[in-house]
Structure formats: structure tokens, C-alpha cells
């Protein structure tokens, strides 16, 4: 198969991201946000919020955001609040297998590039990958606030639990840490969290 056909085939495969549902609802509350919508929102966040970190490579941020969840075509999304979610080891194994399967459909050079970007995101060894990882954790929080749905109450998530799950990469960035804390206070003020 020539390179163009492989690229078109890959684009057909990743179309499935439009059908993979996440835990958060869209703003009209009639359906779940899709993986594709999550990725688009994260790309937009990375583009706009890169001004907070001008030392970072903006194009690299966008590339990492575009690639970070492509593996969910086969591995599917894992919800932080799901009681039956996979262990970290199971999730990692499923995503690694998915990455190999998915990126091998591309021309070799592009497949290797995508695999390297995905690994960079997963390993969080670069400033850009740490920043995208942190934004990736803020995006669902923002989506929940935009939609106003009561999923946190259903999963019995309270303020303390939100603070417990704040990722280290968010804590390490003072601005993103403040945003997380502001989002938490907004959720409390809007009575979106579980209370005993």
C-alpha cells in the first residue's frame, strides 16, 4: 500500500474517536463528550495557554495534544472515577498494544514519529509533555464545569477527593495549580460535589 493510502486508512481508523464516549457530558447535557472533542479542546487549550509558558515549543504542545489519546481507538478511554477501571498496569499494556497496532498502519517514518510523540507524552520527560499532561487533566475539569452535570455527585466525589487527585504536573506549575484550585472552588460554590 502506498503512503497516501496508508495515511487515508489511518484517518479512517481514528474517525472512531468521534464515537468513543468519555465520562463528561457536552454543554447541552444530551450526550457524553467524545474522545475527538476532548482532543480538539485540549489542542485549543495548549495553543491558547502556551502564552503562559513562552519557553515551551508551541508546535510540540499541539502535536502532543493531537496524539496523546489516539490509542483509545483500540484501548478506549479510562475514567478516573470508574470503580471498575483497569489497573495502571492493565491500562498501560492495553495502550502500548494499541499504539503499536495503530501507528504501524502509517508509513514507517510517520508511524515512528507518532509513536515517539505518544511515548514522550506517556513518559512525561520533557517540559512540553508535562505541560500537556497537566492540561489534559484540567480539560475534563473545565468540561464538567461548562456542562454543569452532576457526575461528581453520582461518583461521590467531594472537595477533598478532587484535591487528592490533583496531578503532580499540575502542582508543579503555579498557574495551573491556581486554576485547579479555582475550578475546585467553583465546583463547591455551584454545589456540584458530593456532600455527606
3-state SS, residue 157: coil
pTM beyond cutoff 0.85:
yes
CA distances from residue 196 to 14, 157, 158, 193 in whole angstroms, order as listed? 42, 10, 9, 10
Complete domains list, the chain, with CATH: 3-189 (1.10.3210.10)
**pLDDT tens track for 92-147:** 888 999 999 999 999 999 999 999 999 999 999 899 999 999 999 999 999 999 99
The runs of H, that is alpha helices, within 84-167 are 88-103, 108-123, 127-147, 151-154, 159-164
According to the model, what pLDDT value does residue 80 have? 63
According to the model, what pLDDT value does residue 85 have? 63
Asked if the model's pLDDT at residue 84 lies above 90, the reply is no
**pLDDT tens track for 167-196:** 889 999 999 999 999 999 999 999 998 885
| Pairing mode, strands 21-25 and 32-34 | antiparallel
Amino acid at each position: 500500500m502506498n503512503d497516501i493510502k496508508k495515511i487515508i486508512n489511518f484517518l479512517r481508523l481514528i474517525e472512531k474517536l468521534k464515537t468513543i464516549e468519555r465520562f463528561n457530558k457536552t454543554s447541552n447535557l444530551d450526550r457524553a463528550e467524545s474522545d475527538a472533542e476532548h482532543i480538539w479542546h485540549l489542542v485549543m487549550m495548549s495553543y491558547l495557554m502556551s502564552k503562559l509558558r513562552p519557553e515551551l515549543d508551541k508546535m510540540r504542545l499541539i502535536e502532543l495534544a493531537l496524539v496523546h489519546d489516539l490509542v483509545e481507538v483500540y484501548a478506549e478511554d479510562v475514567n478516573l472515577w470508574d470503580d471498575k477501571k483497569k489497573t495502571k498496569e492493565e491500562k498501560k499494556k492495553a495502550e502500548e498494544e494499541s499504539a503499536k497496532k495503530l501507528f504501524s498502519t502509517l508509513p514507517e517514518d510517520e508511524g515512528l514519529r507518532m509513536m515517539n510523540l505518544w511515548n514522550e507524552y506517556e513518559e512525561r520527560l520533557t517540559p512540553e509533555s508535562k505541560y500537556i499532561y497537566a492540561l489534559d487533566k484540567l480539560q475534563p475539569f473545565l468540561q464538567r464545569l461548562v456542562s454543569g452535570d452532576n457526575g461528581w455527585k453520582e461518583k461521590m466525589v467531594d472537595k477533598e477527593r478532587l484535591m487528592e487527585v490533583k496531578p503532580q504536573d499540575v502542582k508543579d506549575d503555579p498557574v495551573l495549580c491556581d486554576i485547579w484550585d479555582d475550578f475546585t472552588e467553583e465546583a463547591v460554590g455551584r454545589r456540584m460535589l458530593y456532600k455527606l
